[in-house]
A and B are shown apart, each in its own frame.
Chain A
Amino acid sequence: MFSGFMVNTWLVATIVAVVGGAVGFFVVLRGSAFVAHAVPNGSFAGAAAASLVGVNTIIGLGVFSLGGALGIGVLGRRGRHDVATALTLVFMLGLGALFLQLKVEYAPEIYSLLFGEILGISTNELAPTAGLAIACLAALAALYRPLLLASILPESAQARGVSPFAAELCFLIVVALATTMTVPVVGTALIFSLMIGPPAAARAFTSRPAVAIALSIAIAIATVWAAIALSYQTNWPVGFFVGAISASSYACGRAWTFARGRRPASTSPPLPPPPERYDADVSLA
């Protein structure tokens, strides 16, 4: 399990967990679970395109996850946000289906893109992953205070000159960066459970943002390590274990909250703003 070819896997997985846990805190805080699902899942098309054109997978993933994030940001401005997210996602997946058809691909390769592959990480993937991780964490550190404010109190953030749209766009780009580096290990389908389960659990234990981020990273690392070990032993897909362990950690958080008899941390995301276009003027007559 710890032999030569597995060293890269452990390293990359740890980096992935650190970034996933940190970005995930903001995903949960902002109530952006759908976006965190859509951007990585849609970037699947990028990987398919990269293999069609014959370039590095990371480039394909990067282009498509950034494109998807910007598409969600721009479309979400005019229509409803969740509808824009859903349509951007299915369009990217549809493109993915097309690329797969055009390049006759072996099913196992598609499968490992979607659900993760722990044995296929080569040494030359290490540097880009580490670079992207540093970029991602640096961006998060720079955005930390404004993003926190814009996520909890959008109005007062606006009063202080932080535009909610700019904050949303920056956040989407960070999610896209995190996606690009995470896919090779966990697969496009399961990254988001790493971005939701651990931070949601962490927030059940503490309401202080910095502590919650640290705890979220710790839980994410534990999740990924356990998932890889189990996957190595059973030969089952790593994505299955990531999904199952993330959900269990969330269940533990909920149980803890329940046992303490208190409501979840007071920094919960505010209620979504009333949908501006459809609900208000649907005529009941």
Chain B
Amino acid sequence: MRRVHQVLRAIVEPGFFSDPSVQLAAVVGGLVALVAGNVGVFTVIRGQSFAGEALGDMGAAGGSSAYLIGVAPLWGFIAVAVAAAGVMELIGIQRARGRDLATGIVLGAGFGLAALLLYLGTTFDNTTGATITILFGSIFLLERSILAPALALGVIALAIVLVLNRPLLLASVSPELAAARGIPVRLIGGLYLIAMAVAVALSAVTIGAILSTALLIGPAATALALTDSPGRAIITAGAVGVGATWLGLLLAYDSYYWPPLHQGWPVSFFVVTLVLIAYLAAHIGPRRRTVR
């Protein structure tokens, strides 16, 4: 019993479970990872990873303008990501042909804007931490007031995906068949893009704007390598995302005591690495059956 206790102490540094900022980080991080993992399954099926990446990067412009006007970064992330989703939809992101190009053009302009806003934000406010916080996240510095809006937004994104589940799946796998059955393919695609924007904005709060795709794509791609069924893939993706986030939090907390620096490694690094490891493990392992 003593042994077990010692081992546990070595793995989990004292104070991990009682620290309020860790508790908040675990709750918000878990919620975000769950939403991003679930929404991400369709991102992977639809082949829209680049759109997800672009929404996150452009969220950086929103996060920095939120700093400029003095509101929580989440609102900036969400406003810009949803607006960018709208622009992408307008200039024809739905068509496979030239889709990446349109995404790239919007992303280039949006990233340029992020550069300008970050520059203005850091020059006039002298908050040197802002650049890092927006781009790479700082989950241990979250404020308790973020919990309610994050929960509400998460529920909205999940609701869109769950309500649209069947038609969205059909529209993703075979747009022609879906159109023939009278499903409004474009409307569904647009709604899905909004759900994706919300999921990416939430991830940006926990692991940073330019890393937010990790939680959207990684767990979903891992799950889709393990199972055929979209339903099971959604559950697995949520579990992988939450697992990676919580383990990442634990490792980051422990890393304050690691040599050589004793100053803590970033949570985002651990989460992203764990997600990549899960993806590689799912692909290197035994090939899943291909015959149904």
Contacts and interface: CB of A to CB of B under 8 A. Distances in A.
User: Do A and B share a complex?
Assistant: yes
Nearest to B221: A83
A25 interface: no
B47 A82 contact: yes
A94 B268 contact: yes
A171 interface: no
Contacts of A246: 105, 108-109
B107 interface: yes
Which of A33, A193, A275 neighbours the largest number of chain B CB atoms within 10 Å of its CB? A33
A226 interface: no
Nearest to A85: B49
B275 A271 contact: no
B261 A98 contact: no
A97 B268 contact: yes
A33 B261 contact: no
Given A94-B214, A281-B290, A282-B173, A247 B111 contact: no
A34 B266 contact: no
Nearest to B217: A86
B156 interface: no
Contact of B109 (A98, A193, A275): A193
Interface residues of A, number: 68
B105 A250 contact: yes
Interface stretch (B3-11, B22-30, B73-81, B93-101): B93-101
A283 B111 contact: no
| Chain B interface extent, by class | 35 or more
Nearest to B218: A87
Given A107-B132, A111-B118, A282 B45 contact: yes
Interface in B258-292: 261, 263-266, 268-269, 271-273, 275-276, 279, 283, 290, 292
A244 B96 contact: no
Interface string A6-45: 0000000000000000000000100111101110010000
A67 B112 CA distance: 26
A34 B100 CA distance: 7
A227 to B, nearest CB: 9
A115 B118 contact: yes
Nearest to A193: B108
Contacts of A282: 45, 169, 173, 228, 230
B170 interface: yes
B21 interface: no
Interface stretch (A131-139, A146-154, A234-242): A234-242
B190 interface: no
A255 interface: no
Interface in A257-285: 264, 268-269, 271-272, 275, 277-279, 281-284
Interface in B98-140: 98, 100-101, 103-116, 118-119, 122, 128-129, 131-132, 135-136
Given A83-B217, A85-B49, A101-B266, A190 B111 contact: yes
B47 A275 contact: yes
B160 interface: no
Contacts of A106: 128
B38 interface: no
Contacts of A196: 101, 104-105, 108
Interface in B38-86: 44-45, 47-50, 52-53, 57
Interface in A65-104: 78-80, 82-83, 85-87, 89-91, 93-95, 97-98, 100-102
A277 B227 CA distance: 11
Given A107-B129, A272-B47, A284-B170, A189 B272 contact: no
A110 B213 CA distance: 21
Nearest to A28: B101
Contact of A87 (B47, B217, B269): B217
A247 B225 contact: no
Contact of B98 (A111, A244, A268): A268
B115 A240 contact: yes
Contact of A279 (B45, B53, B105, B266): B45
B193 interface: no
B145 interface: no
B241 interface: no
Interface of B: 44-45, 47-50, 52-53, 57, 96-98, 100-101, 103-116, 118-119, 122, 128-129, 131-132, 135-136, 169-170, 172-173, 208, 210-211, 213-214, 217-218, 221, 224-225, 228-230, 261, 263-266, 268-269, 271-273, 275-276, 279, 283, 290, 292
17 contacts: A32-B100, A33-B101, A34-B53, A79-B279, A79-B283, A85-B49, A87-B279, A90-B214, A90-B218, A97-B136, A192-B104, A193-B104, A236-B116, A240-B112, A272-B47, A282-B173, A284-B169
Please provide the 9 A-B residue pairs with the shortest distance between their CB atoms, ordered closest to farther.
A243-B112, A193-B108, A94-B272, A33-B104, A247-B109, A115-B115, A82-B49, A90-B214, A240-B116
